[in-house]
Homo-oligomer: A and B are copies of this chain.
Amino acid sequence: MAIDIGIILVELFFLVVLARVAGLICEAVKVPAVIGEILMGMAISNIIIGGSSIFSFLQLSSESNFPIFQVLADLGVIFLLFTVGLVTPFSELRKIGKTATLVATLGVILPFLAGISIIIAFNGSLLEGLFMGAAMTATSVGITARVVKDLGVTDSIEAKVIIAAAVIDDVLGLIVLAMVTGVGKGGSLEILDVAVVAGLAVGFVLAVMYISTLIPKARKLVESRNRAKSRKNLLPTHFSPLPFALMICFGLSALASFLSLAAIVGAFLGGMLFAEFRDIWPCEDQFAPINEFLVPFFFLLVGINVSVSTIFVPETMVLVIVISVAAILTKYIGCGYAARKIGKGSAMIVGFGMMPRGEVGIIIASIALGTGIFPGSLYATVVAMSLITTLAAPSLVAYAYKRKDRLYGRGLRLFKG
């Protein structure tokens, strides 16, 4: 494969411009930029001008360059999940109250069961059902955090429960993903195989979490020993943590991949592990620009992979509606019920706040598409469901806060950009 860096640079230029234009339009109408990137990707591959799409103008479909963008996109999503893990130290997860755990658990079980049931009711296979269920479980921490921040209610009790539950949701969702990926790669649904894969997945997740819990203890031991001998701290604080973070990220992603799990599961766990060193080696600020460069490629490719013509088949459109309604109701009922103890008005906020699926659902669908488990129509269904739940959440959460405000008279700043 001969590389012409000149052509790749032209393609990079156009993709960065298109992604940013879409993002700016979305930000102007107060919609998350990620929505614009996905829609732009769909436009690139689906809008036909003069017999060919913009996509073929960009030559991305030529055999030589597409894999390069695929790798940039994969690195983007791996870094994204590492960064999500980075703000999720396991030691803090344990401090979170029972309410958040209950909200997260019900918010995973109901959508997962709904996904399996609906796919089987639509004559799909159990494997397709498992992936649809997995894609419906995870709440997007990023989008939820953004919505809460835009409403100016980050320090409210509801917001804290939502964020904490969304984080636990991600962990549970990734465990579900780890299990269904293993099953998908084996291509088998024998009970024994499922058990082995599930065991491997849960074992890997628990092993990394266990190591995470050892780190604070090990650090305390090192520090107290140093103090006793009045030596300098053994852990240096003046070096750049980024290469070390990259090693953990690539190492655990590769290991997860080697264990037939999704690479992003390893990346997330790697981030969680590295979060235990956050006080001396913070590197969120260093990952932010790397993500800003690479992540849009992932969401552009998410859109590029959607064949719009597959959605406009009556059967798929019905499925999109059923799945979206189920995705909204299961989170609303499950999470709202679980949060009923903190008040009726608050439970409604939590129910709506847990709704956006955003990137994690789409990542799961991408894996299912990449491994041949999902046909194009199911992939398009998940993307449509993610777009719908993400677009609906901000206004519903704002409505719920307003309603509670009217009921209980609490002052609230709404829609402060």
Contacts and interface: CB of A to CB of B under 8 A. Distances in A.
Interface of A: 1, 3, 5-6, 8-10, 12-13, 16-17, 19-20, 23, 63-64, 67-68, 70-71, 74, 78, 240, 242-244, 246-247, 250-251, 253-254, 257-258, 263, 285-290, 292-293, 296
A83 to B, nearest CB: 12
A292 B6 contact: no
A271 B57 CA distance: 28
Nearest to A248: B13
Contacts of A287: 289
A248 B240 CA distance: 28
A244 B16 CA distance: 9
B20 A243 contact: yes
13 contacts: A1-B67, A3-B70, A5-B257, A6-B257, A8-B71, A12-B246, A12-B250, A13-B254, A20-B243, A20-B247, A68-B71, A243-B292, A286-B288
Given A67-B68, A70-B3, A246 B293 contact: yes
Contact of A263 (B5, B63, B78): B5
Contacts of A257: 5-6, 9
B293 A63 contact: no
- How many copies of this kind of chain does the complex include? 2
A296 B240 CA distance: 14
Nearest to A1: B67
Contacts of A263: 5-6, 9
Contacts of A244: 20
Contact of A6 (B16, B247, B258, B285): B258
A16 B246 contact: yes
Given A6-B263, A20-B243, 10 more contacts: A3-B71, A5-B263, A9-B250, A9-B254, A10-B254, A10-B258, A12-B254, A20-B244, A67-B68, A287-B289
Contacts of A13: 247, 250-251, 254
A108 to B, nearest CB: 26
A400 to B, nearest CB: 29
Contacts of A8: 71, 74
Contacts of A68: 67-68, 71
Given A68-B67, A289-B287, A1 B3 contact: no
Contacts of A296: 243
A293 B288 CA distance: 13
Contacts of A12: 246, 250, 254
B67 A3 contact: yes
A10 B63 CA distance: 24
Nearest to A251: B13
Contacts of A6: 254, 257-258, 263
A1 B250 contact: no
Rank and list the top 9 A-B pairs by shortest CB-CB distance, nearest first: A6-B257, A286-B289, A9-B254, A13-B250, A20-B243, A10-B254, A12-B250, A1-B67, A5-B74
A243 B289 contact: no
| Most chain B Cβ neighbours within 10 Å, of A9, A78, A244 | A9
A3 B371 CA distance: 12
Contacts of A250: 9-10, 12-13, 16
A295 to B, nearest CB: 11
A251 B251 CA distance: 34
A71 B288 CA distance: 21
Contact of A247 (B1, B16, B258): B16
Nearest to A13: B250
Nearest to A79: B293
Contacts of A1: 1, 63-64, 67
A217 B288 CA distance: 33
| Most chain B Cβ neighbours within 10 Å, of A8, A258, A263, A292 | A8
A292 B240 contact: yes
Contacts of A67: 1, 3, 68
